[in-house]
Amino acid sequence: MIEPRFLDYAFRKALYEDSDMCQLCKNQIHLFEDCTVDHIIPYSKGGKTIPENGQLAHRGCNAKKNAQMPTLAGSVVAS
């Protein structure tokens, strides 16, 4: 069985409603459509697609992070 690549819409919506802060740049995400769920440990590096490995980020910040590990990208694990 192949592991899912993306966390579902409801999880992203719940993260946004809890806090509209990008966990990568620490700025506010003004529109829900501008956010995505980032894998803290990148999927390509063995990170799991589970809520504990997901954090809210601007689409652009997530794209800039690419597949970098958290310490390289300056990412902070969401609490």
Q: What distance lies between CA 9 and its chain's CA centroid?
A: 12
pLDDT band at 79, cuts 50/70/90?
very low
pLDDT in tens, 12-45: 999 999 999 999 999 999 999 999 999 999 999 9
Q: What pTM did the predictor assign?
A: 0.82
Residue 62: what pLDDT? 94
Locate the domains of the chain by residue range.
Answer: 1-56
Q: CB count, 10 Å around CB of 23?
A: 24
